[in-house]
Amino acid sequence: MAEMTAVAWHGRGDVRVGPWPLADAPPAGWVRLRVAWCGLCGSDVTEYACGPVVIPRAPLVLGHEIAGTDAATGAAMVTDTLIGCGTCTHCRAGDVNLCTRLRAAGLSADGGLADYVDVPAESCVPVPDGLPLDVAALAEPLAVAVRAVRRAGPLDDAEVVVLGAGTVGLLVAILLPAPPVLVERRPEQRDLAARLTAARVVDTLPASGDGKVVAFECTGSADALNALIAALPAHSRIVLAGVHGRRTPTDLHTLLHRELEFVGSLSHSRADMRRAVEVLAADPGRFAPLVTHRIGWSDVPDALRDLAGAHPTAGKVLAGPRGDRWTT
Ligand SMILES: [Zn+2]
Ligand SMILES: [Zn+2]
């Protein structure tokens, strides 16, 4: 069996770069992508610092924000990385994110921080001419934002608040039809948000009036979620796009007494991914500044260690076979 280079999770605080077996061919119905760029996600940092959270085995190749080329045809592709059972109601409707037997490349199956990754053909979306592969690597997190805005439903004349200026929060703020209030406590992320979005960027949740608020929770922080519940006026809606632990304590009393609405938004569907590619292709220059680092495979462990530390870097970190050195 041939070998490639891959970045694999071996345990908490233990991510290694090294040779990895490369099967002769992808399984039937799958394609092999030659990876150009793969983004590092907050969930990769969480697995590095506190894992295993969703990782089922070690070692496992990380990476689920993948852009590359079809190894057989050379066509530029992104993948939504979702591996459904293919037969349940949700899979057949394209809502693979809701499949009860869902796996995802880079989280529960081997992913894209490697020279090659095998993914289901139906998970791939062609990258149009004019959309560079480094910007195309933002398609997966953008699809998460596309879904969150879709799941929010009509915004009407509600005040719109986004909690968290990580990649998904920034992308939600960019996608919204009118500039929201964007709440972020980290100064570097506030600077980035002010440059990249038209949002009113603040460091704490502003006091609301009586009017309804639609709030996008993009932090995954239980404290942020509970502060939000405590602050929202009656009939406000919370779109839960951040990934929360299994037993986040939540104030159901306030939820009931203000008749708050809670909407989950998990990952993305196939349609959300196609929409994300359309949005990127329409204006790549709008999204390119989100990418602040393009590093090589060998520097990924150092980057994950620093991103898990006290002063994470501001933008999206991409890794690839021909990236630069990691510097903060
Ligand atoms: Zn992610
Ligand atoms: Zn299924």
Spans of all domains in the chain = 2-137+283-320, 142-264
46 Cα to the center of ligand 1, angstroms: 11
Using only C-alpha atoms, the chain has a radius of gyration, in whole angstroms, of 19
Q: CA-CA distance, 315 to 229, in Å (whole number)?
A: 28
Ligand nearest to the CA of 242: 1
> Is a pLDDT exceeding 90 seen at residue 317?
yes
Complex ipTM, two decimals?
Answer: 0.97
Name which of 45-54, 205-214, 251-260, 308-317 the model is least confident about: 308-317
Q: What angle do CA 94, 97, 102 make, to 5 degrees?
A: 110
- Return mean pLDDT, the chain: 94
State the ligand closest to the CA atom of 104: 1
Distance from the CA of 174 to the center of ligand 1, in angstroms? 18
In the block, tokens 């968290």 appear at 164
On the question of pLDDT at 1 being above 90, the answer is no
| Rounded average pLDDT over 176-196 | 93
CA of 31 to the centre of ligand 2 (A): 19
Q: Choose the CATH number for 142-264 among 3.90.76.10, 3.40.50.720, 3.30.70.580, 3.40.50.2300.
A: 3.40.50.720
* CA-based end-to-end distance of the chain: 38
Q: What is the pLDDT of residue 247?
A: 74
Q: What is the mean pLDDT of residues 159-187?
A: 95
Cα(42) to centroid(ligand 1), Å: 6
Taking the domain 2-137+283-320, which CATH number applies?
3.90.180.10
pLDDT computed for residue 188 by the predictor: 87
Query: Two tokens at 191?
Result: 């600077």
What Cα–Cα distance (Å) separates residue 133 from each residue in 79, 105, 109, 136? 12, 19, 23, 5
**pLDDT for the residue numbered 263:** 97
Please enumerate in sequence order all residues whose Cβ is within 8 A of that of 18, keeping only pairs 6 or more positions apart, or say none: 5, 6, 8
Ligand nearest the Cα of residue 83 is 2
**In which band, very low, low, confident or very high, does the pLDDT at 324 lie, cut at 50, 70 and 90?**
confident
- What amino acid is encoded at 178 in this protein? A
pLDDT tens-digit series, residues 254-291: 889 999 999 999 999 999 999 999 999 999 999 999 99
Assigned token pair, 182: 């964007």
Nearest ligand to the C-alpha atom of residue 54: 1
Tokens of 188: 């570097």
**Pairwise CA distance, residues 152 & 304, whole Å:** 32
pLDDT score at 124: 98
The 3 state secondary structure assigned to the chain is CEEEEEEEEEECCEEEEEEEEECCCCCCCEEEEEEEEEECCHHHHHHHHHCCCCCCCCCEECCCEEEEEECCCCCEEEECCEECCCCCHHHHCCCHHHCCCCEEECCCECCCCECEEEEEHHHEEECCCCCCHHHHCCHHHHHHHHHHHHHHCCCCCCEEEEECCCHHHHHHHHHCCCCCEEECCCHHHHHHHHHHCCCEEECCCCCCCCCCEEEEECCCCHHHHHHHHHHCCCCCEEEECCCCCCCCCCCHHHHHHCCCEEEECCCCCHHHHHHHHHHHHHCHHHHHHHEEEEEEHHHHHHHHHHHCCCCCCCCEEEEECCCECCCC
Residue ranges near ligand 2 (ion) with Cβ within 5 Å? 84-85, 88, 91, 99
42 CA distance to ligand 2 middle (Å): 26
For 4-53, write each residue's pLDDT tens digit: 999 999 999 999 999 999 999 999 999 999 999 999 999 999 999 999 98
Q: Could you tell me the pLDDT band of residue 312, with boundaries at 50, 70 and 90?
A: low
Nearest ligand by distance to the CA of 91: 2
Average pLDDT (235-251) is 85
Cβ atoms 61, 111 nearer than 8 A: yes
Q: How far is the CA of 162 from the centre of ligand 1 (A)?
A: 18
Ligand 1 centroid to 267 CA: how many Å? 8
Closest ligand to 97 CA? 2
Top pLDDT among 55 and 243 is at 55
Q: Which residue has the higher pLDDT, 209 or 289?
A: 289
pLDDT surpassing 80 at residue 311: no
Q: What is the pLDDT of residue 200?
A: 97
For residue 121, report the distance from its CA to the centre of ligand 1, in Å. 20
How many angstroms is it from 123 CA to the middle of ligand 2?
Answer: 13
What is the reported pLDDT for 92? Answer: 93
Q: What integer is the mean pLDDT of 83-94?
A: 94
Closest ligand to C-alpha of residue 166 is 1
Rounded distance from Cα 210 to ligand 1 centre (Å): 35
Ligand 2 center to 162 CA (angstroms): 31
Average pLDDT of 58-77? Answer: 98
Quote the ligand 1 centre to 290 CA distance (angstroms): 15
Q: Which pLDDT band holds residue 246 (cuts at 50, 70, 90)?
A: low
- Output the pLDDT for position 75: 98
Q: How far apart are CA 252 and CA 236, in angstroms?
A: 14
Say which ligand is closest to the CA of 144.
Answer: 1
Tell me the percentage of the chain whose pLDDT exceeds 70. 98
Please report, for residues 87, 131, 219, 254, the alpha-carbon distance to residue 31 in angstroms, rounded to integers and kept in the order given: 20, 21, 33, 49
At residue 310, the pLDDT reads 73
d(CA 304, CA 302): 6
